[in-house]
Amino acid sequence: MDFPVFHLDFLGNRMLVAGIAVLHVFVNHPFAVGAMPLVAALEWSGWRRGDAGWDRLAYRILTVCFVVTTTVGALTGVGIWFATSLVNPAAIGSLIRVFFFAWFAEWLVFVTEVLCIMAYYLTWKPMAGRKGLHVALGAALAVASWVTMAIITAILGFMMDPGSWLERTSFLSGVFNPIYLPQLAFRTPLAMVAAGLLALFLAYFFTRGDDDLRRRAVRWLSLWSLAWLAPAAAGALWYWRAIPAWMAGNLPVALGTQRFAAWYDQLLVVLGVMVAAVLLTTLAGALLPRRLPRVALLVPFALTLVLLGSFERVREFIRKPYVVGEYMYANGVRVADLPLLKEEGILRHSAWARVRDITDANRPAAGAEVFRLACTRCHTASGVNSVFDRLTGLYGAGDWDRETVKYYLLGMHTARPYMPPFPGTDVEAGALADYLVTAQRSHEPVPGAQDVGLDGPAPAGGEV
């Protein structure tokens, strides 16, 4: 616990990271990883047939992807690292220790990808006479886009289940964690399908007034999406089987206790209907492109975004209570350090804590500090996911009994396995209960280190 605690009380840290990350995936999968091979394949097929209209369509699709990836894509990509480094520096620090060379390689590949997309896009017209070379440039870009995702997926898999790394702690055991290849085998075709549906969406606009081009494009893009749907389904199955039992068990428990519990069952049905809608539209597009109403081209891509968002949300959720599976809890406490913190206290081992010793006079303030350290990675006091709303759900809005709240805190991980065990002493749990009981009506926002600013305390030498 040797970093200042950044905290956004109105939005919550979960939402901050989730918002940026999901937006990034919305861009990365359809507009980059899937779109680059798709555009290169489109360009190649237009070149082979000497079809200028087809080439123009490919160029226009690329224009949209170029603009979106180099703005929203790049900003959110960098944004993820800023946000996660502030929200959970301990976790990012651990990941850099394990994946140091992957981080370095990622940077090189990312720069290569950006250079390739600039070259590919900007030379489309100047290189009209050297199409073979230009298509090869597109293929190189496709490979670079895929490799950036492939590296990040290793890290995402590791965060879910580090597997044998927990004993071996080697770079390779970290990279080839049990979830890596299955998740990559799912994400790759998923990105291709997403790009096909994005291109159908764009074809709605870019083939206006040219029915023949539209029919041919709808057919080609539907076939592309259909062809990738089968490997995506196989990848999904493999990924599902790689999820460890404790995590799979978390799925109904974790999602079932959410606010949306009431409609979770319906959610599964809705997701199934969406997949079926995508399948039917692409089938119709492949077999009867002439009969498919133009507006139907807009629907599958919208559904794809919902499906991608749900996939990422579930992946993030089932990993709880860990940020790195069985190694570090979401609040930055290493599993191995838990006994020490329980014995000696989290305040004592937090370099930036403003309160270190608990007295009768400072109990609620000390409790607020414990709350900041132990709970604010997932909860706020006043904003989204407010801990007070959660407690009200448990105890009602009446006056809470301090002892009951304290008792709850000490056992919360057994009743709710998606929450980490309380990482402090009995006295600290008492102080946190005092804070919760005192603040239950005011819901005063809890400030983060950034609110305290330069006037905050100097680090006081916590060792953990």
Binding site residues, ligand HEC, CB under 6 A: 257-258, 320-321, 330-331, 374-375, 377-379, 385, 387, 390-391, 393-394, 409, 416, 418-420, 422
**Identity of the residue, 291 or 441, whose beta carbon is nearer to ligand HEC in the bound complex:** 441
Shortest distance, position 379 Cβ to ligand HEC, whole Å: 5
Shortest distance, position 257 Cβ to ligand HEC, whole Å: 5
**Identity of the residue, 203 or 405, whose beta carbon is nearer to ligand HEC in the bound complex:** 405
In the block, residue with structure tokens 């005092």: 434
Shortest distance, position 76 Cβ to ligand HEC, whole Å: 23
Paired tokens of 22: 């999901």
Shortest distance, position 419 Cβ to ligand HEC, whole Å: 4
Paired tokens of 238: 């493999």
**What gap in Å lies between CA 333 and CA 327, rounded to an integer?**
9
CB-CB contact of 38 with 195 (8 Å) = yes
Q: How many residues does the chain have?
A: 464
The residues, any chain, with a CB within 8 Å of residue 66's CB and separated by 6 or more, are: 117, 121
CB-CB contact of 197 with 304 (8 Å) = yes
Task: Provide the sign of the torsion angle of the four alpha carbons 305, 309, 315, 318, taken in this order.
Answer: negative
Integer angstrom CA distances of residue 110 from 45, 94, 120, 144, 363: 28, 22, 15, 7, 49
**Identity of the residue, 143 or 365, whose beta carbon is nearer to ligand HEC in the bound complex:** 365
CB-CB contact of 63 with 124 (8 Å) = no
**Identity of the residue, 132 or 411, whose beta carbon is nearer to ligand HEC in the bound complex:** 411
**Identity of the residue, 281 or 380, whose beta carbon is nearer to ligand HEC in the bound complex:** 380
**Identity of the residue, 14 or 216, whose beta carbon is nearer to ligand HEC in the bound complex:** 14
Shortest distance, position 415 Cβ to ligand HEC, whole Å: 6
**What gap in Å lies between CA 241 and CA 237, rounded to an integer?**
6
Nearest one of 169, 205, 381 to 294, comparing CA atoms: 205
**Identity of the residue, 52 or 253, whose beta carbon is nearer to ligand HEC in the bound complex:** 253
Cα 165 to the center of its chain, rounded Å: 22
Shortest distance, position 398 Cβ to ligand HEC, whole Å: 15
Shortest distance, position 86 Cβ to ligand HEC, whole Å: 16
CB-CB contact of 60 with 224 (8 Å) = no
**Identity of the residue, 187 or 379, whose beta carbon is nearer to ligand HEC in the bound complex:** 379
Shortest distance, position 387 Cβ to ligand HEC, whole Å: 5
In the block, residue with structure tokens 């991608």: 308
**Identity of the residue, 135 or 370, whose beta carbon is nearer to ligand HEC in the bound complex:** 370
Shortest distance, position 247 Cβ to ligand HEC, whole Å: 13
Burial, 28: exposed, middle or buried (Cβ in 10 Å; 0-12, 13-18, 19+)?
buried
**Identity of the residue, 257 or 438, whose beta carbon is nearer to ligand HEC in the bound complex:** 257
Shortest distance, position 167 Cβ to ligand HEC, whole Å: 24
CB-CB contact of 295 with 205 (8 Å) = no
CB-CB contact of 315 with 179 (8 Å) = no
Phi-psi region of 341 (alpha: psi -120 to 50; beta: other; left: phi over 0): alpha
